[in-house]
Structure formats: C-alpha cells, structure tokens
Amino acid sequence: MATSLNLSSIFSSSRLVTTPSSVFPTRQRRRIILVTSSSSGGKPTILVTEKLGQAGIDLLKKYANVDCSNDLSLEELCTKISLCDALIVRSGTKVGRDVFESSRGRLKVVGRAGVGIDNVDLAAATEYGCLVVNAPTANTVAAAEHGIALLTAMARNIAQADASIKAGKWTRNKYVGVSLVGKTLAVLGFGKVGSEVARRARGLGMHVITHDPYAPADRARAIGVELVSFEVAISTADFISLHLPLTAATSKMMNDVTFSMMKKGVRIVNVARGGVIDEEALLRALDLGIVAQAALDVFTVEPPVKDNKLVLHESVTATPHLGASTMEAQEGVAIEVAEAVIGALRGELAATAVNAPMVPLEVLRELKPYVVLAEKLGRLAVQLVTGGSGVNAVKVTYASSRAPDDLDTRLLRAMVIKGLIEPISSVFINLVNSDYIAKQRGVKISEERMVLDGSPENPIEYITVRIANVESRFASALSESGEIKVEGRVKQGVPSLTKVGLFGVDVSLEGSVILCRQVDQPGMIGKVASILGDENVNVSFMSVGRIAPGKQAVMAIGVDEQPSKETLKKIGDIPAIEEFVFLKL
Ligand SMILES: NC(=O)C1=CN([C@@H]2O[C@H](COP(=O)(O)OP(=O)(O)OC[C@H]3O[C@@H](n4cnc5c(N)ncnc54)[C@H](O)[C@@H]3O)[C@@H](O)[C@H]2O)C=CC1
Ligand SMILES: O=C(O)C(=O)COP(=O)(O)O
C-alpha cells in the first residue's frame, strides 16, 4: 500500500511537533511549537543580514517589519535577534548556537537564501525549535555558469593577462592558453549544478565524463555524459570540475593521494565548497606541476586570510564566492526564501525545510525504534550500491499484524529516504521534505504492506528495503530477483539487521558493520576477531548466516570503531573470504 504524506495535516491543529532522537540531536529534545504571529501580536519582524534581492525584500515587507542590517558583529546579531521572528542570511552570516540561545525562543525561522547551509547550526536550530529553510534551486544555473566562466578564464589566463595589461605590460607569449575542445572534463557530483555544467561543457565540444554513484544513468546519457568510477574520472581528465556537497565522504577528497593519480597538468575548478579540497595538498600539487592551474570560488575559510598562498599563486584564478551572484539568481533565491519564510511564519509547510520532523508524540513513542531501524536500513542499502546506474527504484515492505489503517508509516518512509539520500547529498531530510527530495532526485519509493497473522502488539514485525536495477559492491546482498535487499527487526527494543540478500544474520544496528561472504568452515570468526583485536577494534557482535552447512555463509561483524584500511585488507586477504564490505551505520 503506498502512503503519501499529507503534510498540511501535520502542521495544522495545535502544531505540536517533536524531534526524534535518531534524526536530530538529543541534547535538548523539546516540543516545537510553530505559531503564526509575532509575540507582540502585531506584524512579525524579519532580520535580513546580507544583501538580498529586492523582489524578496518587497515580498517580506507585505507581511512583516523588515530590518536589513548588513555586516553585523556577532554581538550585534545576538542583541537584535531577541526582537526577531525570522532571520534571513546567505553564506556570510554564521548562525551558531549562541544566536539561537540569544533569541530566547522568539526566533521561529531561519531562511538561507541559497543552497549550502553549512553556516547554520542545524542541531541548535532544531533544539531551539527553529525551522530552517533554504532556496535550493534558484541559483543552480548561476553556479553552473560561474563554473564555466572559471573554466574558460583559467584555460586562457584571462585574469592574469588582464592584471598584466592593467600594469602597463603587453605580454603575449606568457599567456598562451590551452584549448577546451576535444579535452576531457570530469564533473565530480552530477546533481543540479554538475549536470548543468556538463551540459554547457558538451556545447563547448568537450568530452564530458562524470562520477556520481547516485546519479541516474539516463540523465547522464540524455546529455551525452559518461558515468565512470572516481578513479577513471580523476586519472583520465584534462579538467576536473567539483560539484559535490561538503560531507564526511567528500571532505578533502582532493588530497595528496588523489592528486598523484591525476594526469600531469590537470586543471581544476571548484565552485562547490572549499573543504572538498585539501588546500595544502593543492599548493604542493601546483608547485610540482601535477596541477597546472586551479580556479577557485570557494575556500575552507571565507574570507581567506590576507596572504593566502593559494589566492596569491600565479596559477590560481580566484573569485570571492561569486557562484550564486547574478542579478537573476539573487532575485530568484530572494523570492524563493521569502515565500518559504513567510509560509513558515504563517504555520504553513515549507517544501524546502531542512529540519523539523513533525509527528504526534504518541505515534513517535511507539515507532521510535522502528524509526531508527528504517533510517539504518536505508543507510545500509545505499552503501551497498555501486556502478553508475543510480538509485531510482526503492521498495519498502512493512510486515505487520496490524490493520493497514492502524499503522502510520509516513515517518518510517521518510526515514528510509533520509537513510538513502543523506549520506550522498548536501540535503537534510525529514518528514517535511523527504518525498520532495526523493522525487527531485528521481528516486521512486514504493511501499508495500504485508499483513501477518498474530498479535498486533508490535506495530511492525520486520521492514525490508529493496533497491532495484543497481549493481552491488557486495554481490551476496542481492535477492533472487537481483535487487539489493536488507531486512531488519526491532528485537527487545534494539533495531537489528536480520537479512542481507538471501542470508539470514543477526546484528544489532549500532556502530558499523563488516559483512563477509566466505566458504562456511570452522575458525573463521576467530580469524577475523583476532585481526580486529590486533588493531584494538572493539567487536560488539558477530553472527553467521549460511545457505547450507559447508557451503557459503555471510558473517556480519559489528565494530565500534572504523578499522584501518590495512586491517580491512587483512580480512579480505583471508583465503576463505570471497567478498567483504565495510558499512557505516
Ligand atoms: N559557489 C557558489 O556560490 C555555490 C555553490 N554551490 C555548491 O555546489 C554544490 C552542489 O550543489 P547542487 O548541485 O545544488 O547539489 P546537489 O545535491 O543537487 O548535487 C550534489 C551531487 O553530488 C553527488 N555526490 C554526493 N556525494 C558524492 C560523492 N562522494 N562522489 C560523487 N558524487 C557525490 C550527489 O549524488 C548529488 O548528485 C554544493 O556544495 C553547493 O553548496 C551551490 C550553489 C552556489
Ligand atoms: O547557495 C550556495 O550554496 C552558495 O554557496 C551561495 O552562497 P551566497 O548566497 O552567494 O553567499
């Protein structure tokens, strides 16, 4: 049975909502109350701390008192915020815990007029009951155009030549550039911005390849772009353009090791986030000539320090985070964020909300361990995907002896989506935006209810998550029909993994998991445990599921810490182990 989210009903009535511990930090779990008017009973007050398109300001003024105060110190911001119901920022205002604390409960919405919300402390926002919304689509083209502008300017030394001629020189030989036509461009991250960059680069006659394990292959094919592995992308490209979110997996993705795999003389563009590049390593690669040139719009620390060596480097073209700065994009994001902020102040739902799940407390209490289970199954399943076909068909099965009407699966569905998409994206997913995000990414989620006999005491017996039409980096995770399949139950309150592909296992879903397929034989548990023990990795549990004695078995090992690459290699080198995978929960 497919369940759709009727979000407006969740926001209506008393507007009492709560945050589940699995989704948002637990330091201060409290009920969030969204109210529709300012505490003074009159018009709400909205503080705008950075340049915002006039169309957005005009819209805000129709509904609220608008205070546009740029360049506030933290102290000034903290003083003003206690008099404001909403705050609108771009990337230059740090909205940390102290801001939420200082608001003393009055601040109800933070609007980010752009995509990245790394400058807003989401955990604190949620704890203080403050909704955060962003404007994820209106600056996509601007960022893509800036990427292309940097690519072409870099290849033809435009910035350097311009500085030279302005200094009274007429230097022609020094600024001979390189051509783009026929060259290979690797686009890393084939999301909204990356795909627009790819489309434009094709128009420049470039051969475009992309690495994004989660992007739909048909979208790439439609614009003549080849999806390849990370290694192929970085080692064959003449140009690399970064369009990834800054996540744990992408942080310093460009480092000494990855630079050493690149073609000598590669050229790099970064319009994503500074933290995706190890800036020290880039300096070394530039000085060694591995990287011939770089064009950077974003930096780990913004603004960069005055004598930042990258900014001053002759082979670097730098811009001060201008990706979204076109008249059109700024008007667009201003309208997008203004509508979302006004809607949220009115108590309506924002499709671009990045926090604030809303579920009645009674439902939440009962479903709490299943919420954790759903998210972790999604997280496990997506980590098993490999290859370029992309995640586009996910089926979630809830086996329950409850009558279908007696089980609200909206939160579970949202949490499966959260588990599937958050590890691979810059978006934050909750009950409000999960379906929107899944649809936007071309991920079709279907739900199925399996009605079991027996006592309806437990809301759910087990949940199965299947991803169709993908390859797996752990072949044993495939079901008979070729889908990645993971299944879990709540056992004595603890979410547990009970099936991987065709193999039954029994693993509580905490910490991380190593899955190994092996020839079923005695002594395997001991061998793996002793390798992990040698590195002081604490094993929390082990379980083996086999097809038949002496045949193949899947061993699941729960570990508290992430084992080193060397340790994982030692496990893989055990002769009886046919394949293995390390999964973070
Ligand atoms: N410089 C500027 O002014 C602007 C910068 N941005 C930044 O550009 C970046 C991309 O933004 P959007 O395209 O809107 O985001 P998006 O979420 O639409 O696309 C990101 C893509 O990266 C992929 N991805 C995630 N992890 C990956 C990995 N480890 N390897 C390969 N691919 C991976 C995702 O599957 C997704 O398709 C973000 O960092 C955003 O903050 C966006 C707008 C303006
Ligand atoms: O939207 C984004 O992610 C950006 O990086 C744009 O930042 P800005 O609004 O120009 O400060």
Query: At 418, is the secondary structure helix, strand, or coil?
Result: helix
CA–centroid distance, residue 133 to ligand 2 (Å): 14
Q: What is the pLDDT of residue 432?
A: 57
Q: Are 435 and 412 in contact (CB under 8 A)?
A: no
Torsion angle of alpha carbons 95, 101, 103, 109, nearest 10°?
50
Q: Give the position, in ligand 2's atom list, of the atom nearest the Cα of 298.
A: 5
Q: How far apart are CA 425 and CA 421, in angstroms?
A: 6
Q: Are 233 and 240 in contact (CB under 8 A)?
A: yes
Q: Are 395 and 355 in contact (CB under 8 A)?
A: no
Q: How far apart are CA 509 and CA 516, in angstroms?
A: 16
What is the residue type of 533?
G
Q: Is the CB of 321 under 6 A from ligand 1?
A: yes
Q: Is the CB of 275 under 6 A from ligand 1?
A: no
Residue 215 burial (CB < 10 Å; 0-12/13-18/19+)?
A: buried
Q: Is the CB of 115 under 6 A from ligand 2?
A: yes
Predicted confidence (pLDDT) at residue 57 exceeds the cutoff of 80:
yes
Among 48, 90, 331, 354, which is best to mutate for testing ligand 2, by the most ligand atoms less than 8 A from CB?
90
Query: Atom 10 of ligand 2 has which residue's CA nearest to it?
Result: 324
Report pLDDT digits (tens) over 241-276. 999 988 888 999 999 999 999 999 999 999 999 999
Residue 158 burial (CB < 10 Å; 0-12/13-18/19+)?
A: middle
Which ligand is in closest contact with the Cα of 192? 1
Among 424, 428, 433, which is best to mutate for testing ligand 1, by the most ligand atoms less than 8 A from CB?
424
Q: Is the CB of 114 under 6 A from ligand 2?
A: yes
Report pLDDT digits (tens) over 480-525. 899 999 999 999 889 999 999 988 888 888 888 898 888 877 788 7
Q: Is the CB of 56 under 6 A from ligand 2?
A: no
CA–centroid distance, residue 196 to ligand 2 (Å): 17
CA–centroid distance, residue 90 to ligand 2 (Å): 6
CA–centroid distance, residue 115 to ligand 2 (Å): 6
Q: What is the pLDDT of residue 454?
A: 76
Alpha-carbon distances, residue 29 vs 19, 26, 126, 143, 432 (angstroms): 7, 5, 9, 37, 18
CA–centroid distance, residue 247 to ligand 1 (Å): 10
Q: How far apart are CA 47 and CA 92, in angstroms?
A: 14
Catalytically active residues, by annotation: 273, 302, 321
Q: What is the pLDDT of residue 453?
A: 85
Q: If DSSP states are collapsed to H, E and C, what string results for 443-464?
A: CEEEEEEEECCCCCCCCCCEEE
Element (H, E) at 234: helix 230-236
Among 91, 115, 439, which is best to mutate for testing ligand 1, by the most ligand atoms less than 8 A from CB?
115
Q: Are 508 and 399 in contact (CB under 8 A)?
A: no
Which ligand is in closest contact with the Cα of 273? 1
Query: Atom 8 of ligand 1 has which residue's CA nearest to it?
Result: 272
Q: Are 74 and 94 in contact (CB under 8 A)?
A: yes
Predicted confidence (pLDDT) at residue 110 exceeds the cutoff of 60:
yes
At residue 341, φ and ψ (nearest 5 deg) are: -70, -45
pLDDT band at residue 11, thresholds of 50, 70 and 90? very low
pLDDT band at residue 147, thresholds of 50, 70 and 90? very high
Q: Model's pTM, two decimal places?
A: 0.68
User: How confident is the model over 367-377, as a mean pLDDT?
Assistant: 92
Query: At 82, is the secondary structure helix, strand, or coil?
Result: coil
pLDDT band at residue 19, thresholds of 50, 70 and 90? very low
Q: If DSSP states are collapsed to H, E and C, what string results for 155-205?
A: HCCHHHHHHHHHCCCCCCHHHCCCCCCCCEEEEECCCHHHHHHHHHHHHCC
Q: Is the CB of 419 under 6 A from ligand 1?
A: no
Q: Are strands 16-18 and 31-33 parallel, antiparallel or unpaired?
A: antiparallel
Predicted confidence (pLDDT) at residue 477 exceeds the cutoff of 60:
yes
Q: Give the position, in ligand 2's atom list, of the atom nearest the Cα of 113.
A: 9
pLDDT band at residue 422, thresholds of 50, 70 and 90? confident
User: How confident is the model over 174-201, as a mean pLDDT?
Assistant: 97
State the DSSP code for 28: T
User: How confident is the model over 89-103, as a mean pLDDT?
Assistant: 95
CA–centroid distance, residue 389 to ligand 1 (Å): 18
Report pLDDT digits (tens) over 219-239. 899 999 999 999 999 999 999
Q: What is the pLDDT of residue 52?
A: 97
pLDDT band at residue 360, thresholds of 50, 70 and 90? low
Q: What is the pLDDT of residue 348?
A: 65
The set of residues, in sequence order, having a beta carbon less than 8 Å from that of 526 and lying 6+ positions away, is: none
Report pLDDT digits (tens) over 435-474. 778 888 889 999 999 988 877 788 899 999 999 988 898 9
Predicted confidence (pLDDT) at residue 415 exceeds the cutoff of 50:
yes
Q: How far is CA 22 from the centre of its chain?
A: 17
User: How confident is the model over 521-530, as a mean pLDDT?
Assistant: 82
Q: Is the CB of 428 under 6 A from ligand 1?
A: no
Q: How far apart are CA 436 and CA 258, in angstroms?
A: 35
Q: Are 558 and 507 in contact (CB under 8 A)?
A: yes
Sign of the Cα torsion 356, 357, 358, 361 reads: negative
Q: How far apart are CA 129 and CA 355, in angstroms?
A: 10
Q: In what order do the strands lie in the sheet with 291-296?
A: 226-227, 207-211, 184-188, 239-242, 266-270, 291-296, 316-318
The residues pairing with 48 across neighbouring beta strands, listed in sequence order, are 68, 88
Report pLDDT digits (tens) over 63-76. 999 999 999 999 99
Q: Does a cis peptide bond (omega within 30 degrees of 0) precede residue 303?
A: yes
Among 49, 89, 139, which is best to mutate for testing ligand 2, by the most ligand atoms less than 8 A from CB?
139
Q: Is the CB of 136 under 6 A from ligand 2?
A: no
Report pLDDT digits (tens) over 389-413. 688 899 999 999 888 777 778 889 9
pLDDT band at residue 138, thresholds of 50, 70 and 90? very high
Task: Give percent above pLDDT 70 in the chain.
Answer: 88
Q: How far apart are CA 378 and CA 465, in angstroms?
A: 7
Q: Is the CB of 145 under 6 A from ligand 1?
A: no
Q: How far apart are CA 502 and CA 228, in angstroms?
A: 29
Task: Give percent above pLDDT 90 in the chain.
Answer: 57
Query: Atom 7 of ligand 2 has which residue's CA nearest to it?
Result: 91
Quick count: other Cβ atoms within 10 Å of Cβ 413? 26
Predicted confidence (pLDDT) at residue 358 exceeds the cutoff of 80:
no
Q: Is the CB of 240 under 6 A from ligand 1?
A: no
As a whole number, the mean pLDDT across the chain is 86
Query: Atom 9 of ligand 2 has which residue's CA nearest to it?
Result: 90
Q: Give the position, in ligand 2's atom list, of the atom nearest the Cα of 273.
A: 5
CA–centroid distance, residue 246 to ligand 2 (Å): 13
Q: Are 438 and 445 in contact (CB under 8 A)?
A: yes
Q: Give the position, in ligand 2's atom list, of the atom nearest the Cα of 112.
A: 9
Which ligand is in closest contact with the Cα of 390? 1
pLDDT band at residue 4, thresholds of 50, 70 and 90? very low
Which single residue is written with the structure tokens 């600024």?
175
Q: What is the pLDDT of residue 13?
A: 24
